[in-house]
Amino acid sequence: MDAYLLDWANLLLRWAHVITAIAWVGSSFYFVFLDNSLTPPTDPDLRAKGVDGELWAVHGGGFYHPQKYLVAPKQLPEKLHWFYWESYSTWLTGFALFTVLYLFNAGTFLVDKTVHDWSPGMAVAGALAFLVVFWLVYDAVCRLFGQRRHGDLIVGVLVFAVVVLASWLACQLFAGRAAFLLVGAMMATAMSANVFFWIIPGQRKVIAQMKAGQPVDPIHGQRGKQRSVHNTYFTLPVLVAMISNHYGMLYAHEHNWLVLVLVMLAGALIRHFFVARHQAKVQGVRPPWGAALAGVVLLAGVAAWIAPEPRTEATVALPPPSYAEVRTVIDQRCVLCHNEQLQNKNVALHTAELLGRHAQSVYQQVAVQRTMPLNNATGMTDEERALVARWFQAGAPTE
């Protein structure tokens, strides 16, 4: 029953996390598009009111006319919609899911003793430290260099270097699957912290100044915009890190940290294309297809680099093992987590029929990607993996 309730907790938290993330990313992408698609108002009355840009759009059978003020309107509207709970809810549900799935099961999901032999408690402390330390370092970089000349470029280079270092370190300390997720989580934490510590407080200060009849300091809007732009470039790298645990070909690679960095970089390049494309349309210039092409080429290069090696003739020439030999390996290494009572990923392997049904997946996970058993907790040897491969290549007999 505990496992059943845990599955429900995972389902509901994952569902809530996806829902809130869609809301946050959707609103974020929309406002980035809006900012980069605005044109100066043609109506002199709008310019007199302080409107700096406007956009006409049609959607869902209706026409929309959003406007953006250079700093703030002269009068505070009676009703003002805020965008922050999308961010907070995404982080809260994500951290809850990470806690239930990874922190509560650190010995299984965080720790891989072949990577780094430490206690589950230390692994939990290390994971939490990643979330906090990255935010502190990133925030310090933004504070120190963000408002300087070429500040955006300097911050971008330094933050990228920190992400590379964090990716390498995570893959030296944690199980590959957890390391990828943790890098995504630390970047997502910084995104939500940007909203909590900078964007929303800055907006509250602007409103307080307006209510007090004081001149509005534009620095709050400038800082908020800068952090918002950082968030949009983080988005695709974070998303690929979050879904990476379904793809062992990524996190099980010998140089998994570099795989992660390159895939995230490709995501950032592709995102840059879409961000700059909106401005290009307004300015009447050519979209930055080079960034999109670089991202696609980078992904193709990673895919070619990490592709499984073809079978050697020596392996093919070996005689196929008997079902009894394979059964022994499966019973010793796999059935512990894939049996009638416990069917991780809805896979059970305790009978010949079930093993035959899942033969393709077993071969892929055990022999090709080498991601199962999870963190090799049951100690499957290379010889046993090769035996499973020969069994599958011989037609996966179950008699």
d(CA 134, CA 156): 14
Of the candidate ranges 13-17, 159-163, 365-369, the one whose mean pLDDT is the lowest: 365-369
From residue 340, alpha-carbon distances to 51, 331, 343, 351 in Å are 66, 13, 7, 9
For the chain, which residues make up each domain, given as ranges? 2-37+90-305, 313-393
Half-sphere exposure of 12 (CA within 13 A, CB side): 7
Measuring CA to CA, how many Å separate 111 from each of 40, 118, 241, 382? Answer: 55, 7, 18, 21
Question: C-alpha angle with apex 145: 144 to 148, nearest 5 degrees?
Answer: 120
The predicted pLDDT at position 296 comes to 98
pLDDT of 162:
98
Q: Are 389 and 318 in contact (CB under 8 A)?
A: no
pLDDT exceeds 50 at position 86: yes
Is pLDDT above 80 for 314? no
Dihedral of the alpha carbons of 31, 35, 40, 43, in degrees to the nearest 10: 10
Give 325-373 pLDDT, tens digit per residue: 889 999 999 988 898 887 777 788 889 888 888 888 889 888 888 888 8
| Measured distance CA(337)–CA(297) in Å, rounded | 39
Q: How confident is the model at residue 1 (pLDDT cuts 50, 70, 90)?
A: very low
pLDDT for 183-212, tens place per residue? 999 999 999 999 999 999 999 999 999 888
Q: How confident is the model at residue 311 (pLDDT cuts 50, 70, 90)?
A: low
How remote is the C-alpha of 260 from its chain's centroid? 10
The strand ranges marked E within the chain are: 51-54, 57-59, 62-64, 67-69
Half-sphere exposure of 359 (CA within 13 A, CB side): 18
Neighbours of 123 (CB within 10 A): 23
Q: What is the mean pLDDT of the chain?
A: 92
